[in-house]
Amino acid sequence: MTVVSNPLRNLPLDLTRSSVCPDGSRLTPPYFLTIEAGTGRILAGASDGGRRVTHLVRLNLDAGTGKLTVTCATNPVVTGDTFDQTWEFDAR
């Protein structure tokens, strides 16, 4: 068994914003982020009346806050391997 650390854990994330998804559904807080093991895609998951709903998402840098915001995506924009690079943020 291989265990790796969660690269999302150490990023300055803002998970408080809603987003409209391409299929017309909404990504509404509270939700959590996970990286799909086989593809590296980032998904946001939420509970909808007892069933778990996931959405493919992208991370966007908010220059004003220095945090990453989450919006629904139509295709994978940021994957787990993206976090192998160095990220710099202006935490104003």
pLDDT digits (tens, 9 = 90+) for 23-59: 888 888 988 888 887 888 888 987 667 777 888 898 8
Residue-range definition of the domain harbouring residue 74: 13-79
Does this model's pTM top 0.75? no
Establish if 5 belongs to a structural domain.
no
Cα distances (angstroms) measured from residue 82 to each of 23, 52, 55, 63, 87: 26, 26, 19, 19, 10
Asked, for residue 54, whether it belongs to a domain, the answer is yes
Instruction: Output Rg (C-alpha) for the chain, integer angstroms.
Output: 13
Query: Is 92 inside any structural domain?
Result: no
Is 1 among the domain residues? no
Whether 67 maps to a domain, the answer reads yes
